Structure 1
Amino acid sequence: MAAPPWPLLLLLLAGLPALHHGVSIAHAFDDDVQRNILQLQGPISSQGDEADGLVEEALLPEVALPEAEVLPPSSKTQEGLLGTLLPPSAPSLAEEVSAVELGEPQSSSEAETQEDDHGGSCDRDIPLEKTHMVAEAVMKLGANLLRQVELENGKGNLFFSPLSISLALAHLALGAANQTEQQLLKALHVESVPCPHQALRTVSQHLSQTTLSIAARLYLQKGFPVKEQFLEDSEKFYRAKPATLSGNSEADLAAINTWVKDATHGQISTMLTELPASVVMLLLNAVHFRGFWKNKFDPLLTEPDTFYLDDELTVSVEMMRARVYPLSWFTLDAHDVQVARFPFKGNTSFVAILPNHPEQNFSRLLSDLSQANFQSHFPKERPTMVKMPKLHLQHHLNLEQALRQLGLGELFSAPNFRLITEGPLVVSSVQHRAALELSEAGVEASAATSVSMYRSLSAFNLNQPFLFIIQEDTTGIPLFLGAIRNPNPSAPQERKMSDCAVGNEGKLFPCSVDQEKP
């Protein structure tokens, strides 16, 4: 039976949630054994076999980042975060809070972790087994962002790191107060997590003991007054050491991009393309993942093959193959999808999800699957015939519109960041870049998120038609009313530059001037 021509859904790196497209699974039989044929299908940019390969024996060298602490990867493995962290008998943090509200006894160490970070009482580390709520929160944010990005551009490839974005927004929340803080915690889905910054630190430390490295940096304009507590907490919870912007935009931009390039082992060479002079603070983080397949693909079997975009269109791609691949996969009938897990060495895996019909809403499907706890369904591995395309992805997201849709519009207008500095401070830009290389040896993936901030000055410009009232303030009686449509009716009128003709080289022709008759 031929493989069904349905589109690719997404990729999930357990411990580094990252979204792409999906999988296609069909059945094939020979005389002796049933085999399952797995094919990944979707638009891909690929390179030659040798150029794309990850070589386990020839790793990229670790790069020491100046003044920034990068949590180093090691070979230590622990229980996975998605759906497997918490034993059924262990109470969650939320359950322990409920126990306190009900007056049930609680140890002093447990009580200390219930208080808010800003109260200064979240001083002890939170056990890893009690941070499963963070994994759920990161997945929810990823699904929400996927939905918003799909609305903007639902046709192309998509790849990003919900972990990197979560860490950046949580770092921002560290300096927020009142409604701004509440909105950030709600968008992050950690509003019910006691000591969320503490929990994220515990998760980051765990992830950095696997095959992931995490780095953070806090760039500050020279002379910008930042509260000492925010600087201390930034380093304490997010390992973000401060660095000073020189004031030379070109030099500062080069320094920022070099830092990201080093933190991502060269995968992201250009994080920002411009740095406005008005920027007074930049929150920045980067994550880098390198995983080697537990069962590698043979490069000699990789060859051009058909990738089915939909019922009508196909594209030729470099397709990796395995005749007998030990694979754990299953069909989730309630959601009409097939799910497969490709393990890396260590405690991470590549999870591929395929809807059995076209035109699937990927973000809604991801939300439904998360609620269904699909991670607990994986059966024992069985011999499977597999096809998987080589992938080379570079993706950039300007997150302002998506964050506005998630209820964070205040960040870009009138937020409260009084825990960072006195006076107005506004987010001007949230940028995210991600890169992926998938080859016969494994996967290398990186992402970086930046939050640019500037000082906002209150402004009220009467530079277009307006109405005015002269009133007596005690009684509110209007003494005079006016409507101004042209403050200078005797002056020549000119067309706005945007209305002028544009030449072949993109230059604006001078606009005609219409003299108003007296």
Structure 2
Amino acid sequence: MRWSKPLSALALATMLAGCESIFGSGDEEPITRLPRALTQSEQELIVASNRFGFNLLREVSARDTSSNIFLSPLSASMALGMTMNGASGETFSAMRSTLGFGTMEPAAINAAYRSLIDLLLGLDRNVDMRLANSIWVDQQFPLHPAFVESSLQHFDARVTALDFGNPASVKTINAWVDQGTNGKIKTILEQIDPEIVMYLINAVYFKGSWTQEFDPARTSPAPFHRADGSQHPVQMMFMRDAEVRSVMNDQVQMVDLAYGRGAFSMTLVLPPNAQPLRQWAAGVTDEKWQGWIAQLHDGKLDVSLPRFRLEYDEVLNNTLKAMGMATAFDDVAADFSGMSPRGADLFIAEVKQKTFIEVNEKGTEAAAATSVGTGVTSAPPTFRADRPFLAAIRERHSGTILFVGLIGDPRSP
């Protein structure tokens, strides 16, 4: 058997809502379009990331029976995108296909990641949106200068060599994660496995106040009807005659709640006819999602949404293998020769995502980190989320999905 070293990929995502507003006065002009047109590569990247996100949600949901699933497809895509930048041959092709990029060339993918990062970060000064990437490598393990340069240029990644045999390295990496998620995710590592030689990590943080806040005086106890027929008491927030974008028909009930000046929003979806959330969500594709988004229209709506907080973490190895990326996890077949002179001996050992979300009357704060470790008039209609629902945080004008999840049992803070 050949000598091999594993890589590790970790993903952390945190969404927090209900914090005190730290942004502008709210009287600035709403953002009704992007500051520039998206390039063809950016459009393809966003479609790929969203498609990957719904496929990821479907596969995780099929494997995890937890009441709640909350993921950051953007964070996972970026961490794996950095890793793919060092992949070659069949490993690259499998990763590119799984991430939804089709036949896009590496240069176009990298350029699209770079420009999308810049676009999202500078879009709305009333929303705190952060993206950070890092690569942590054992100081004894060599990297190709071209891989390091590409990581810096296209992902703005911090590349750091550490002594992986020193326990202080764990503290160093965790401190970066803690800072990158604004303290919402304290740790991603408990220890460094002796076989691991590299971690590739993405962190996403989001904090936004609702454009129209819920009135805390209207929040009251209400039952939440879980999938098994039981009920769980929640603190139900309420807005009357909210001016929101929505679509309410026999196919879907969807409402779009804006943050800040309106570039970002939380999109909430209830399955039609009280269908079981998991069963319904298994059929949600990016194409269906875009069709529903296209139907959103302005109007007044009574909106009820639980105030909740939850944490989620999941190792995504088996999910990604099932999605077509098995080669990258194979200690014999994997080829990361674009990453290191010893890249033919590298394989992905673990891809992990951790998430946190808290939602209340003020707004939403979210953070995500993904690490790839290589080892080697009349009464208005009502939207009432008192049963399992899908929640997504997205940039409205580009369509980029930052977070998406299935909420089956919200716990009130």
TM-score by length of 1: 0.63
Q: 1:249, 1:277 within 8 Å by CA — same for their partners in 2?
A: no
**Structure 1: runs of 5 or more not aligned:** 1-17, 21-45, 47-51, 60-74, 87-126, 456-518
What amino acid is aligned across from residue 207 of structure 1 in structure 2?
L
Q: 2:210, 2:363 within 8 Å by CA — same for their partners in 1?
A: yes
Larger radius of gyration: 1
**Structure 2: runs of 5 or more not aligned:** 1-12, 377-413
Q: 2:14, 2:367 within 8 Å by CA — same for their partners in 1?
A: no
Specify whether residues 224 and 296 from structure 1 end up closer, same or farther in structure 2 by C-alpha distance, changes over 3 A only. same
Distance 2:145 2:203 in 1: 24
One of 197, 203, 206 as aligned partner of 1:289: 206
Q: Deviations over 1:60-106 (max 9, x none)?
A: xxxxxxxxxxxxxxx9957369xxx97xxxxxxxxxxxxxxxxxxxx
| 1:250 positional shift | 2.5
One of 215, 218, 239 as aligned partner of 1:322: 239
Q: 1:310, 1:358 within 8 Å by CA — same for their partners in 2?
A: no
Q: Equivalences for 1:84-163 in 2 at 5 Å? A: 127-128=38-39, 131-163=42-74
Specify whether residues 430 and 310 from structure 1 end up closer, same or farther in structure 2 by C-alpha distance, changes over 3 A only. closer
- What root-mean-square deviation, in Å, do the aligned CA atoms of Structure 1 and Structure 2 show? 2.6
- Greater strand content: 2
Q: Which residue of 2 aligns with 1:56?
A: 21
Q: Which residue of 2 aligns with 1:174?
A: 85
Q: Deviations over 1:394-440 (max 9, x none)?
A: 11110101011011111121211111112311111111111112111
Distance 1:328 1:76 in 2: 14
- Percent of aligned pairs with the same residue? 26
Between 130-139 and 357-366, report the one with greater CA deviation.
Answer: 357-366
Q: 2:19, 2:364 within 8 Å by CA — same for their partners in 1?
A: yes
Distance 1:76 1:282 in 2: 40
Secondary structure at 1:373's aligned position in 2? helix
Distance 1:448 1:363 in 2: 24
**Is the counterpart of residue 196 in structure 1 residue 117 in structure 2?**
no
Secondary structure at 1:419's aligned position in 2? coil
Q: 2:18, 2:364 within 8 Å by CA — same for their partners in 1?
A: no
Distance 1:186 1:57 in 2: 40
Q: Equivalences for 1:400-419 in 2 at 5 Å? A: 400-413=317-330, 414-419=333-338
| 1:295 positional shift | 0.3
Q: Which residue of 2 aligns with 1:258?
A: 175
Distance 2:19 2:282 in 1: 33
| 1:154 positional shift | 3.6
Q: Which residue of 2 aligns with 1:247?
A: 164
Q: Deviations over 1:432-480 (max 9, x none)?
A: 111112111100111111111123xxxxxxxxxxxxxxxxxxxxxxxxx
Q: 1:305, 1:318 within 8 Å by CA — same for their partners in 2?
A: yes
| 1:301 positional shift | 1.9
Distance 1:147 1:78 in 2: 32
What amino acid is aligned across from residue 55 of structure 1 in structure 2?
E
Q: Equivalences for 1:336-415 in 2 at 5 Å? A: 336-346=251-261, 347-356=263-272, 357-360=274-277, 361-367=279-285, 370=288, 372-382=290-300, 384-413=301-330, 414-415=333-334
Q: Which residue of 2 aligns with 1:208?
A: 121
Distance 1:345 1:365 in 2: 32
Q: 1:139, 1:370 within 8 Å by CA — same for their partners in 2?
A: no
Specify whether residues 321 and 164 from structure 1 end up closer, same or farther in structure 2 by C-alpha distance, changes over 3 A only. same
Q: 1:19, 1:158 within 8 Å by CA — same for their partners in 2?
A: no
Q: 1:215, 1:287 within 8 Å by CA — same for their partners in 2?
A: yes
Q: Which residue of 1 aligns with 2:192?
A: 275
Q: Deviations over 1:195-230 (max 9, x none)?
A: 111111111111111332101111010121111000
| 1:179 positional shift | 0.8
Q: Deviations over 1:240-263 (max 9, x none)?
A: 121122234521111111111111
Secondary structure at 1:193's aligned position in 2? coil
Specify whether residues 76 and 128 from structure 1 end up closer, same or farther in structure 2 by C-alpha distance, changes over 3 A only. farther
Specify whether residues 313 and 397 from structure 1 end up closer, same or farther in structure 2 by C-alpha distance, changes over 3 A only. same
What amino acid is aligned across from residue 341 of structure 1 in structure 2?
D
Q: Which has the higher contact order (CA 8 A, sep 6+)?
A: 2
Distance 1:417 1:130 in 2: 24
Distance 1:401 1:313 in 2: 31
Secondary structure at 2:147's aligned position in 1? helix
